[in-house]
Structure 1
Amino acid sequence: MKIGFNEGCNRFCENHSVLEDLALCEKYGFDYIDVQSECLDRDLAAGKYTLEELGEFFRTHKLKMLSYNALVGFNMKQTQAEKDAVMAQLDEIIRRCRILDCRMVVVVPSMDLTVHATLDDIRADAVAVLREMVKKAEPYGIKLSLEFCGCPTMTINRFEDAYAIVEEVDHPLMGVTLDQYHFHAMASGWDALEKADGKKIFIWHLNGMENMPCGAAYNTDEKRLWPGEPGDCLDHKRYADTLKKIGFAGGVCTIEVFRPDYYKLSNEENIRKATQVTRAHVETYC
């Protein structure tokens, strides 16, 4: 099992830089990195480097880019202008991915809807939009990975709903991102995961979390922990065993932890710690 780093872990560390992350991930032994779109946009706007410079790093180093993370708010748009804007954003992300030699884009649902959409409404809309998006990505062999988010106001917030959408899209380039925190935070069903086709799970996000009530407004990403830290309530063995049993074929375990205390570390301290806990997890459970 390869190991990956998601920039959610250190995106607000002092003097954060995507280019520095690449060098540090290579230094400490990560195989892959999920580049966070907000970090990339911030650095490009500041003129820290060009996309071409990042692409050159990936072409000349062992570290590879696992995913572009993410296109946020892809579904349930109410006007044609809003729908067109999503597709234009995807076009730009595909352009960037080709420069960065990236073959996967994470797509995140919309939240805080003002319309009272049913689950059926949301599912039908997501399937239609994702089918259109896959058509754009297919010529370049770029996968789309739907990340359900365990927040009460998110339109797709449970594994079983995301998986049903992916099944209906029914395309080899369409899969699911399984984030352990999100799975637990809105009480996704283990029965649904245990019956899933592991080949449809493209990304596995590793994290721990405090033992918070499912669906509580204060149960936010900030409650994530390094896996195995004191207070971590997640059953890491069950996640790993289940993914092995259903044939998870992603081949990478990627750490993604958003915690304010960890942002107080330097970029290097953060990535060094992330490497240690991810490697220990893989050695123990995978």
Structure 2
Amino acid sequence: MEYCEKYGFDYIDIQSECLDRDLAEGKYTIEELGEWFNTHNLSMLSYNALVRFNMKETQEEKDAVMAELDEIIRRCLILDCKMIVVVPSWDIVLKKTRGEIREDAVAILKEMLKKVESHGIKLSIEFCGAPGMTINRFEDAYAIVEEIDSPLVGVTLDQYHFHAMASDWAALEKADGKKIFVWHLNDMEDMPCGASYNNDEIRLWPGDPRGCLDHQHFADTLKKIGFEGDCCTIEVFRPDYYELNQEENVRTAAEVTRSHVNKYWKQPALSLS
């Protein structure tokens, strides 16, 4: 986080697994982390994430999701965080149709909305471009958001996930940009959509010559539909990059993101995910 400030990031999407690990190991308390944010310029863009939020088979499982949400809300209030990313379940046993999955997601998100709305906290659905994911294309996530029709419920648009399961450009081009809360920048090697090896390991920094994503199309479309996030995040997860030391990683992320965004967009705020 200190390196993020040093190299000009405005926000950070704190990864829940990293936060849970550090809290369990006693590296700091949530209150100490909140005090750090109070005394620094870096802010939290989102709490990333509450995972496997949908398609629960028992009331006990549904109650566990709501209990986790309660704890995340508690943390967000301490950290002055106004958005929670929610990630769909994957590899479910029951064979459900897209319609059934959409109906279930709408129902549970409406219940979640009741808990966050008094705090002004947003919920952002991150569809994930993998065959086993219950919500794996933009158009499915957006249909859920449209049906709920709340200013507090939107979509996280990750360029990698959009391409990885061949989301429909026409659906994005007809969307309301105000319902896209988070824009994850990245690139990727040109792998077949839906292939088992088309995973986070083949992500790249945006602008890498090995990349295949149509960045101009993303930028032009988001401008056209009225995207108002005023912030983009860098999210890569490539194992090669974890071999860099922490400062080198953050510095590189800032440099490539700023350079990339300047090609396509008036300089927005930057966030590290």
- State the TM-score, normalizing by the size of structure 1: 0.92
Identity %: 75
Q: Which amino acid aligns with 1:210?
A: E
| Alignment partner of 2:152 out of 173, 189, 211 | 173
Q: Among residues 33, 37, 41, which one is paired with 1:62 in the alignment?
A: 41
Specify the alignment match of 2:269 in structure 1: none
* Correspondence for 1:86: 65
* Equivalent in the alignment of 2:30: 51
C-alpha distance in structure 2 between counterparts of 1:141 and 1:114, whole Å: 35
Q: Report the Cα distance in structure 1 between the residues aligned to 2:218 and 2:210, rounded to whole angstroms.
A: 18
Q: SS of the residue aligned with 1:83?
A: helix
User: Within 5 A, what are the aligned runs for 1:86-125?
Assistant: 86-125=65-104
Match of 2:250 in 1: 271
Q: Find the residue that maps to 1:271 and give its secondary structure.
A: helix
1:162 aligns with 2:141: yes
Using the TM superposition, give the Cα deviation of residue 117 of structure 1 relative to its aligned residue in structure 2, in angstroms: 0.3
User: In the alignment, residue 50 of structure 1 is paired with which amino acid?
Assistant: T
- 1:15-70, CA deviations, whole angstroms, 9 ceiling, x for partnerless residues? xxxxxxx1110010000000000000011111111111111121121111000000
**Distance across 1 between alignment mates of 2:98 and 2:195:** 20
In the alignment, is residue 228 of structure 1 matched against residue 207 of structure 2?
yes
Task: Name 1:136's counterpart in structure 2.
Answer: 115
Larger RCO (CA under 8 A, 6+ residues apart): 1
Q: Which amino acid aligns with 1:147?
A: E
Amino acid at match of 1:135: K
C-alpha deviation, 1:230, in angstroms: 2.5
1:209 partnered with 2:220: no
The whole-number CA distance in structure 2 between the counterparts of 1:189 and 1:99 is 38
Aligned residue in 1 for 2:222:
243
SS of residue in 1 equivalent to 2:143: helix
Q: CA deviation at 1:164?
A: 0.2
Is 229-238 or 97-106 further displaced after alignment? 229-238
Find the aligned partners of 1:28 and 1:219 in 2 and give their Cα distance. Answer: 31
CA distance in 2, matches of 1:59, 1:285: 33
Which stretches of structure 1, 4 residues or more, deviate above 3 A after TM superposition? none
- 2:124 is matched with 145
The 2-side partners of 1:266 and 1:81 are apart by 42
Give the gaps of 5 or more residues in structure 2: 266-273
Q: Secondary structure at the match of 1:176?
A: strand
Instruction: Calculate the TM-score normalised by the size of structure 2.
Output: 0.96
> Paired residue for 2:162?
183
Matched, 1:28 2:12: no
Structure 1 spans left out of the alignment, 5+ residues:
1-21
Secondary structure class of the residue paired with 1:232:
coil
Which SS does the other structure have where 1:280 is aligned? helix
- Code of the residue aligned with 2:10 in structure 1: it is D
User: What amino acid sits opposite 1:54 in the alignment?
Assistant: L
CA–CA separation in structure 2 for the residues paired with 1:66 and 1:108 = 16
What amino acid does structure 1 have at the position aligned with 2:54? N
